[in-house]
Amino acid sequence: MSHRIVTTTSTTTTTTTTSDGGFLNIGYCRSFPGLLKLAQVVTLMIAFLCVHCAPRWTDYDAFRYFEVVTLWFLFAFLIFFLMYVFRLQSKLPCINWTLTEFFHYILGTILVFIASIVAAVKSYSVSALIAGSVFGFIATFLLAVSLWMSYSVTCGSQQTSIGV
C-alpha cells in the first residue's frame, strides 16, 4: 500500500491603508482628541444659539460678552479641528501648533468659565439664558479636559539625563 501526503497551502493577501499619505485624516475624527474637539464645537454652538435666540435679555452687556466669547472659541476650535483633518499643521511647520492650541485652551477655559458664571448670574429665570449658561459650563469642562491633555503633551515629563 502506498500512502500519499497531500499538502495544501493558501496565501492571503492583505492590503492596509495608512492615514499618512492621504489628503484627509479621517482617523482624527474617530480619535479621542478629535471627538473631544467636535464636542467642544457643538457645545459652544448650542450655548451661543441658546443665548442668541433668547426672547429677551436681562442684561445686554453680559450676554453680548457671552456671545462674543463662545463664538470666538467656537471658530477657533473649529479651525483647529479642520486643520488636523486636512493635515494643514504639517504644511505650516513654522508655527508650533501644539503650543498655540495649548494657549487657546488656557484662554478658552478661563473666558468661557467667566462668561458662563456671568450668564448664570444675570439670567433671572429666563430658561434659554439658563440653558446657554449650562452649556457654557459643559464647554468649560470639555475645554479643561483638553487643556489637561494638551498640557501633558506640551509640558509633560521630559527625560533629561546627564552623563558623567
* Domain layout of the chain by residue ranges: 26-88+95-153
Q: How many other C-beta atoms are found inside a 10 Å radius of the C-beta of residue 87? A: 15
Q: Which helix (H) or strand (E) holds 30?
A: helix 26-30
Cα–Cα–Cα angle for 156, 158, 162, rounded to 5 degrees: 160
pLDDT tens digit at each of 164 positions of the chain: 566 676 666 665 544 444 455 788 999 999 999 999 999 999 999 999 999 999 888 888 999 999 999 999 999 999 999 999 999 988 888 988 889 999 999 999 999 999 999 999 999 889 999 999 999 999 999 999 999 998 877 676 655 556 55
Helix and strand totals (H; E) in the chain: 5, 0
